[in-house]
Amino acid sequence: MLTTRLYMLQRLTALIMAPLVLGHLAVMIYAVQGGLDAAEILGRTQGSVLWMLFYGAFVAAVATHAAIGVRVVAFETFGLSKSVLTPLTWLIFILLLSLGLRAVYAVTLSGVLG
């Protein structure tokens, strides 16, 4: 069940994510060469404001995007009633946002601040 507002939000967040996904994929391909290593990853990201902004934006966009997306599927495929859809959308949004921001905090700022 999409109104124009939700539709626009979903498309705009998708547009924001597109370059971020490409960047992320590139880093991943680079990173997995020689195996994944926590120290190597953290070494690259920790303390970097740029990486923080990069992943911060990613998380905000994806939380919005996926919450709307799951809402649509919950409605069309599982027939959830409209009264549960809005709380569900918010729940997924908040869950993804908080988990995501915590992860971003963990890999970028935690070492610097804590």
Partner 1 sequence: MIRPHRNHPLWLAFMLHRVSGVALALFLPIHFYVLALALTDPAALNDFFALTENIWVKITEFGLVFLLAAHMLGGLRLMAMEWLPWSDRQKTFAATAVAGAFAISCSFFLSAVSL
Partner 2 sequence: MSQELSVSVWRSETNAFQEFAVPAQDNQTILDVVSWIQANSDPTLSYRFACRVGMCGSCAMMVNGEPRWTCRTHVKKVLKSNSLQIAPLRNLPVVKDLATDMEPFFDKWVEAKGVFQGTKTRHDAIEPILPDTAERVAASTAIECINCAVCYAACDSVSGNADYLGPAALNRAWSLVNDVRDGAYEERIEAVSGTGGCHNCHSQGGCAKYCPNDLNPSASIAGLKRKTTRNWFGWGRS
CB nearer to partner 1: pick between 87 and 114: 114
**With binding defined as CB under 8 A, does residue 76 bind partner 2?**
yes
The distance of closest approach from Cβ of residue 66 to ligand HEM in the complex, given in angstroms and rounded to an integer, is: 4
**One symbol per residue from 45 to 64: x for binding ligand HEM (CB under 6 A), - otherwise; what is it?**
-----------------x--
Which DSSP string do the residues of 38-101 spell out, in sequence order? HHHHHHHHTT-HHHHHHHHHHHHHHHHHHHHHHHHHHHHTT---HHHHHHHHHHHHHHHHHHHH
Q: Which is nearer to partner 1, 15 or 53 (CB)?
A: 15
Asked if 80 touches ligand HEM (CB under 6 A), the answer is: no
Task: For residues 111 and 114, give the distance between their C-alpha atoms in angstroms, rounded to a whole number.
Answer: 5
Cα separation values, 46 from 26, 59, 98, 109, 110, Å: 18, 17, 19, 6, 8
Of the pair 17, 104, the CB lying nearest ligand HEM is at 17
Query: In angstroms, what is the C-alpha Rg of the chain?
Result: 17
* 66: contact with ligand HEM by CB under 6 A: yes
Q: Which residues bind ligand HEM (CB under 6 A)?
A: 10-11, 14, 17-18, 21, 62, 65-66, 69-70, 72-73
